[in-house]
Amino acid sequence: MKCALIYDFDGTLAEGDCAQHGLMPALGINDVGDFWRLVKERAKKDDGDEILSYLGLLAETANALNSNELSESNLIKHGKAIPLFPGVNGWFERINEYANKNGLELHHYIISSGLDAMIRGTSIGCEFRKIYACKYHYCNGGEIATWPAQAINYTTKTQFLFRINKGIDNSWDNAAVNKFVEPDEREIPFERMIYFGDGDTDIPSMKMVRYQGGISLAVFDNKKWDNENTQRKVEKLIAEERANYVVPALYHEGSQLDVTVKGLLQLFKRKG
């Protein structure tokens, strides 16, 4: 019985935004807040997509410095600097073992606006069947980032849920994702999906997974729980019926998240 655990990355498995760890300092971007202000200004001025504006501004900054920090090899290197939430490093081995003992075939996926190569560079980069994330097209053997090959924003995330549902492990085959397939013939039913997200950018995916019969799990940085904005965000997710469960981003054995996911896997098993 195939099941899928589908994760956002920034703020869900890792602290903060992907690029602010290693990459932005290497590009001389020391005021992250100001960088994102410029991204929003550009998106508004161009009446464009914020993620494309972000990827473009990173590339412009690198080009202005004649820097190769956006090369695939350097992004993988910078990924090693990304701090993961407590328990994440042991999470996949433990939950896979638990699923196997209960006759479940568990697959892990990332759907993120973060940078694909940086996520692959983390200690957990090898744990996923597929990482759907932002990436650049390269020339000169992967050294020069020329333009965004893939940009994933809060609404485009939902198409990748259908790719997972239908067993399409790529981002380019639009004919396959749009082809009608009877629900009971799809590789991983929505009813056996758990989506992990941390906030506004995950709301369309959370809502869609719930609507299709799956489970949405909202996580929050436990160190920020006393922050009023964090509490308001959690309150909103519950009030607007975006998430089935809200738990701290603590992945160690016996945590609220760990026990909740194990209970949900038991529910999948019982429903067959």
**CB count, 10 Å around CB of 152?**
22
Contact 11, 199 (CB under 8 A): yes
Q: Give the pLDDT of residue 113.
A: 95
Domains of the chain and any CATH numbers? 2-15+84-271 (3.40.50.1000), 20-79 (no CATH)
Distance CA 219, CA 214 (A): 16
pTM, whole model, 2 decimals?
A: 0.95
Which residues lie closer than 8 Å to 47 by C-beta, 6 or more apart?
Answer: none
pLDDT tens-digit map of 156-209: 999 999 999 999 999 999 999 999 999 999 999 999 999 999 977 899 999 999
Phi, psi of 224, deg, nearest 5: -105, 10
* Whole-number Å distance between alpha carbons of 205 and 8: 10
Average confidence (pLDDT) over 48-64 = 95
Q: Where are the beta strands (DSSP E) in the chain?
A: 2-7, 105-115, 130-139, 144-150, 193-197, 215-220, 245-248
Using a 10 angstrom Cβ sphere, with 0-12 exposed, 13-18 middle and 19 or more buried, the burial of residue 263 is exposed
Compute the radius of gyration of the chain from its Cα atoms.
Answer: 19
pLDDT digits (tens, 9 = 90+) for 11-49: 999 998 889 999 999 999 999 999 999 999 999 999 999
List C-alpha distances in Å: 83 to 13, 23, 51, 116, 199: 9, 13, 22, 16, 19
What is the structure's pLDDT at 200? Answer: 78
Residue 20 structure tokens: 């602010």
One-letter amino acid identity for 12? T
Percent of the chain with pLDDT over 70: 100
The token pair that represents 220 in the structure block: 């929050």
Mean pLDDT of 79-85: 95
pLDDT at site 238: 87
**Where does the pLDDT of residue 233 fall: very low under 50, low under 70, confident under 90, or very high at 90 and above?**
confident
pLDDT, tens digit (0-9, with 9 covering 90-100), for 107-154: 999 999 999 999 999 999 999 999 999 999 998 777 889 889 999 998
12 three-class SS: coil
Angle (nearest 5°) at CA 233 between 206 and 253: 70
User: Encoding tokens for residue 46?
Assistant: 């161009």
